[in-house]
Copies of this chain bind each other. A is one copy, B any other.
Amino acid sequence: MPTVSSEELAAAAGVNSAKLRKDFSYLGSYGTRGVGYDVEYLVYQISRELGLTQDWPVVIVGIGNLGAALANYGGFASRGFRVAALIDADPAMAGKPVAGIPVQHTDELESIIRDNGVSIGVIATPAGAAQQVCDRLVAAGVTSILNFAPTVLSVPDGVDVRKVDLSIELQILAFHEQRKAGEEATAGAAAVQAAAREETSTDQGPDGDVPAVMPA
């Protein structure tokens, strides 16, 4: 039986082994003292807890470059996601296959959601259409939305929204890049990013982790 110790795992991940053990303990997944964790069992437990063993039907709305890129993205299937439908407002797109899936018109949105029991929707439309699409998704029963459009969506309670801003990551890189260059005047620089984050977005979305460097 192949096993791993918390020590090995921690070293590989660059974290503290005690924390890792404590985290695992919340799972209820018990390791064996003197031996370690059964790899297969551990992988299964974590996968299940994360929802990777379930099948999540997903719709993508807005089949432009980004929507097409998402439809073609290989990582989805392996993580338990299944693209149930591609939806676009352009009638000319209807029926055209993208990533092997025929695009359907926005008119079908509600019925697609209901027929497939979709609870997760991806919005890759232009900013102008995003809120409207969002409202329709929610009304049809979607309770989780991944938003790529550069708009903050408002949704009723009980609906989760995560906003992906492709430029935020670039901004974080630029921030570091700037600090590499100018070590002189940039003395009391850092903790700003936290403040900036507070200013721009109202909560939803991924927090780019810039290490909170405390200036001298």
Please measure, in the bound complex, the distance between the C-alpha atom of A40 and the C-alpha atom of B69, giving whole angstroms.
39
On whether the beta carbons of B51 and A170 are closer than 8 Å, the reply is no
Q: Given that A13-B198, A27-B188, A81-B174 are known contacts, is A206 also in contact with B50, CB under 8 Å in the complex?
A: no
Q: Are B165 and A199 in contact (CB under 8 A)?
A: no
Please determine whether A177 and B46 come into contact, CB atoms closer than 8 angstroms: no
Chain A residues touching B, range: 35 or more
Nearest opposing residue in chain B for A120, CB measure: B173
Q: How far is the CA of A64 from the CA of B74 in the complex (A)?
A: 14
10 closest A-B pairs by beta carbon, nearest first, are A65-B69, A66-B69, A13-B198, A23-B195, A144-B173, A75-B167, A51-B178, A65-B68, A51-B174, A49-B192
Asked if A2 is at the interface (CB within 8 A of a chain B CB), the reply is: no
CB of A209 closer than 8 Å to a CB of B: yes
Q: How many angstroms between the C-alpha atoms of A74 and B165 in the bound complex?
A: 11
A41 proximal to B (CB < 8 A)? no
Chain B's nearest CB lies how many Å from the CB of A193? 7
Flag whether A3 is at the interface (Cβ < 8 A): no
Q: Which of B9, B120, B150, B196 contacts A170 (CB 8 A)?
A: B120
A202 at interface, CB cutoff 8 A: yes
The 17 listed contacts between A and B (C-beta, < 8 Å) are: A20-B195, A23-B198, A24-B195, A26-B192, A46-B199, A50-B175, A50-B193, A56-B174, A64-B69, A65-B66, A66-B66, A75-B150, A76-B167, A79-B167, A81-B170, A81-B174, A143-B177
